Structure 1
Amino acid sequence: MKNYQLRRLSDQPILTTSDVLPSVEGFTVLGAFNPAACLVGDEVILLLRVAEAPASKEGVISIPLIDEQDGALSLVVKHFDEPTVPYDPRVISLGGKVYLTSLSHLRIARSRDGIHFTIDEKPFLFPERMDESYGVEDARITFLDNKYWITYTAVSEHGPGVGLAVTTDFKTVERVGMILPPPNKDVALFPQKINNKYMLLHRPMVSDIGKPSIWLAESEDGVHWGNHRFLFGGRGLADNPFAWEGGKIGAGPEPILTDDGWLLCYHGADPTHSYSLALALLDKNDPATILDRSEAPMLTPELSWEREGFFPNVVFSNGWIQWPDGRIWVYYGAADSGVGVAELTRTN
Structure 2
Amino acid sequence: MNAADVFTKLDVELKPDPSRTVIRPFRFDYPEAFDRKPSRAECVARHVMALDPATRDRMLDLLHDAMRQRHRNVDNVFLRRFDQIKADIGDIGVERDCDRLLLGAYFSQEYAFESAALFNPSIVTLPDQDPDDQSIRFLLSLRGVGEGHISSVTFRTGTWDGATGLTVDPASSQGVPPRIDSEDGEWVRMRADDSQDISETVIFPILPSQRSGIEDLRLVHFTDHDGVRSVIGTYTAFDGQTARCELLRGINEQSFEMRPLTGRLSGYKGMALFPRRIGDRFAMIGRQDNVNLWLLYSDDLHIWDEGMRIMGPQYPWEFVQIGNCGSPIEIDEGWLVFTHGVGMVRGYCVGACLLDKDNPAKVLARTHSPILFPSAEQRGGYVPNVTYSCGALLHKRHILLPYAIGDQYTAFATGSVDDLLSVMV
User: TM class by shorter-chain length?
Assistant: 0.7 to 0.9
Structure 1 residue corresponding to 2:138, chosen from 6, 21, 44: 44
Q: Which structure carries more helix by proportion? A: 2
Letter aligned with residue 129 of structure 1 = L
Counterpart of 1:291 in structure 2 is 364
Q: Give the SS at the match of 1:253.
A: coil
Tell me how far apart the structure 2 counterparts of residues 52 and 328 of structure 1 sit (CA, whole Å). 31
Whether the 8 Å contact between 2:402 and 2:410 is mirrored in structure 1 is yes
Structure 2 residue corresponding to 1:215, chosen from 279, 294, 299: 294
Counterpart of 1:139 in structure 2 is 217
Tell me how far apart the structure 1 counterparts of residues 19 and 367 of structure 2 sit (CA, whole Å). 35
TM-score by length of 2: 0.63
Tell me how far apart the structure 2 counterparts of residues 178 and 298 of structure 1 sit (CA, whole Å). 32
Alignment of 1:232 with 2:311, yes or no, is yes
Unpaired segments of 5 or more residues in structure 2?
A: 24-109, 130-135, 161-165, 176-200
Alignment of 1:270 with 2:343, yes or no, is yes
| Change in 2 beyond 3 A, CA 1:187/1:138 | same
The alpha carbon displacement at 1:124 in A equals 3.3
Q: Give the SS at the match of 2:115.
A: strand
Letter aligned with residue 276 of structure 1 = C
Counterpart of 1:203 in structure 2 is 287
Tell me how far apart the structure 1 counterparts of residues 337 and 2 of structure 2 sit (CA, whole Å). 14
Letter aligned with residue 47 of structure 1 = S
Counterpart of 1:85 in structure 2 is none
| Change in 2 beyond 3 A, CA 1:35/1:190 | same
| Change in 2 beyond 3 A, CA 1:29/1:16 | same
Tell me how far apart the structure 2 counterparts of residues 9 and 117 of structure 1 sit (CA, whole Å). 19
Letter aligned with residue 17 of structure 1 = P
Unpaired segments of 5 or more residues in structure 1?
A: 54-62, 64-101, 207-211, 236-241
Tell me how far apart the structure 1 counterparts of residues 316 and 118 of structure 2 sit (CA, whole Å). 28
- Tell me the alpha carbon deviations over residues 107-140 of structure 1, each in whole angstroms, 9 at most, x when there is no partner: 0111124432333542432111111111001111
Tell me how far apart the structure 1 counterparts of residues 14 and 366 of structure 2 sit (CA, whole Å). 30
Whether the 8 Å contact between 1:50 and 1:104 is mirrored in structure 2 is yes
Counterpart of 2:256 in structure 1 is 173
The alpha carbon displacement at 1:7 in A equals 1.6
| Change in 2 beyond 3 A, CA 1:20/1:270 | farther
Structure 2 residue corresponding to 1:315, chosen from 379, 387, 390: 387
- Tell me the alpha carbon deviations over residues 208-254 of structure 1, each in whole angstroms, 9 at most, x when there is no partner: xxxx221111111211112210111212xxxxxx2211122111111
Tell me how far apart the structure 2 counterparts of residues 26 and 200 of structure 1 sit (CA, whole Å). 34
Across the two proteins, how many residue pairs are aligned to each other?
287
Whether the 8 Å contact between 2:3 and 2:369 is mirrored in structure 1 is no
Whether the 8 Å contact between 1:153 and 1:162 is mirrored in structure 2 is yes
Q: Give the SS at the match of 2:278.
A: coil
Deviating beyond 6 angstroms after TM superposition, the runs of 4 or more aligned structure 1 residues are 1-4
Q: Give the SS at the match of 1:318.
A: coil
| Change in 2 beyond 3 A, CA 1:2/1:26 | closer
Between structure 1 and structure 2, the one with the greater Rg is 2
Whether the 8 Å contact between 1:2 and 1:294 is mirrored in structure 2 is no
Alignment of 1:16 with 2:15, yes or no, is yes
